[in-house]
Amino acid sequence: MKSNVTSKNFYKGDPKKVAKNLLGKSLIRKLRDDTLEGIIVETEAYYGLEDPASRAYKGLKKYNKMMWSEPGRIFIYNVHNNWMLNIVAHDLGKIGAVLIRAIEPTRGIETMRMNRPVSKIRDLTNGPGKLTKALRINKKLHGKKVTSKQSEIFVTENNLNFKISSSNRIGVTKDLDKHLRFFIKDNYYLSR
């Protein structure tokens, strides 16, 4: 297993920059008797009080306080009965997180298929709710660090070559006037 886990410092910075830099890294989910892994191929950046699409937009609440916390921690919330996997990322004194929208599965695919039965592998993890089901990610991981190999979920470095594209975020009714969705261009596993 890879030992080059992303550091806490990687997540200290503008969520837009972190969202871009997460592309191509591996997301690793350790279960009791299996390890599931995929390459992060799509992300979205979210800010604080000034971002109308952010969970933090209406101020500090019990359900969103993780966005104010230490960078490199998991922030989980539910949308339409799907868990959303976010990693807290922001500059000192700021608010922010990055939503992991899609991964390209690379290890533990049969277990992922048991967790989320689909006929086409393309549909296994090509959306934020799909990937959390496939990787068995739920509220129990809320607050965990992704910066330690001992964690149940962490991110590691890779040395991959790819082109990055960007767009407006998906599925938001109000958005900031800038591209905050980032993805590996032409990747087969992007959300639709």
Residue partners of 136: CB distance under 8 A and separation at least 6: 29, 31, 36, 115
The DSSP H or E segment spanning 21 is helix 15-22
The whole-angstrom separation of Cα 5 and Cα 108 is 19
Query: 8-184, what's its fold?
Result: 3-methyladenine DNA Glycosylase; Chain A (3.10.300)
The whole-angstrom separation of Cα 168 and Cα 175 is 8
Q: Where are the domains of the chain?
A: 8-184
- pLDDT, tens only, 22-73: 999 999 999 998 999 999 999 999 999 999 999 999 998 989 999 999 999 9
Q: How confident is the model at residue 3 (pLDDT cuts 50, 70, 90)?
A: low
Residue partners of 112: CB distance under 8 A and separation at least 6: 36, 105, 124, 125, 134, 135
Q: How many angstroms from the chain centroid is the CA of residue 120? A: 22
pTM above 0.85, yes or no: yes
